[in-house]
Amino acid sequence: MALAGVASAASVGYNSMTSDQQKDVAFAWDFASGDVGFAAGSVDMGGSGWSSDAFSLTSTNTATVGSQGTCPWSSQVAGMGKSFTLNLDVNAVNSYGTWDSIVSLYSNGGNANFDHSMALTTNGDGKGTIVLQSGLGNETPYGNAGNQTLTTGLTASEISNTTFTIVSDADAKTLTLYVNGKQTSQVTNWVAAEGETLALTGFQFGSNFSDADKIANAEVSNITVWDKALSSAEVAALVPEPATATLSLLALAGLCARRRRG
């Protein structure tokens, strides 16, 4: 259990990133530093449902989404290119049902309705397995590869400080899902249909656009979106190796012991 005032995030927050890692960040929330959020570059977030204070900060510096209707969304993301990366830490999924979504993304291709969607969601296997699903319900799949399910290999009950990274690469024509910095699944032939776009034009945390009742009550932190596709090496660098932290602690303990002997 995380101590009050200490972030329980698994990945590197924006304010702890290098300048190279911060490059091309479209928008981010670094709860560990107490920042509510900010927009950067040419990206604009709008829509009547969007409000940065919709995130309810907890003593562990996470935000609870999908609780009591707290599902902030933006239907007017403008300024994103055709490739993007979304990274977020899910500290816990407290309650869920069939197809309940932690985060959903969509590109409406100039249309007024919420179609062309994908969501990081539980599937219908009765185990709460977390998947990235392209297309939900009667909605059109995001991308032109048909309905695709990218598995994480985790159930909702197994999630504790887990980093999920979604990379949409229009040049390589791939959609890739990473868990804790490691690739778990990928879609190829990731292209937009005629007259449509792969650019991110909307998102929602804690629910999905096809059904507002499909709510996953989750604790999230370190939400970051880049206006580019990160490489596998760049994704891996967002999640420090546990061994690194362990070795640092061992080195510190050894230094203290030497000082005591001296």
Domain residue ranges in the chain: 14-261
- In this predicted model, which residue has the larger pLDDT, 142 or 174? 174
Of all residues in the chain, the percent with pLDDT exceeding 70 is: 66
* pLDDT higher than threshold 80 for residue 244: no
Q: 193 — phi, psi (to 5°)? A: -70, 165
pLDDT at 186 (0 to 100): 94
pLDDT at 243 (0 to 100): 44
Residues in Cβ contact with 102 at an 8 Å cutoff, skipping those fewer than 6 apart: 65, 66, 90, 93, 119, 120, 121, 130, 164, 205, 206, 216, 218, 220
Q: Give 66's pLDDT tier (boundaries 50, 70, 90).
A: confident
* pLDDT higher than threshold 70 for residue 70: no
* pLDDT higher than threshold 50 for residue 62: yes
- The mean pLDDT value for 13-18 works out to 84
pLDDT at 53 (0 to 100): 42
pLDDT at 109 (0 to 100): 60
* pLDDT higher than threshold 60 for residue 34: no
Of all residues in the chain, the percent with pLDDT exceeding 90 is: 24
Q: 89 is written with which tokens?
A: 């830490």
Write the class of the CATH domain 14-261: mainly beta
- In this predicted model, which residue has the larger pLDDT, 87 or 32? 87
- In this predicted model, which residue has the larger pLDDT, 54 or 147? 147
- The mean pLDDT value for 145-163 works out to 87
- The mean pLDDT value for 227-232 works out to 96
Q: How many whole angstroms from its chain centre is CA 41?
A: 19
**Reduced DSSP (H G I as helix, E B as strand, rest coil) percent helix, strand, coil of the chain, to 5:** 15, 35, 50
Q: 42 — phi, psi (to 5°)? A: -90, 5
**Chain mean pLDDT for the chain:** 76
pLDDT at 27 (0 to 100): 80
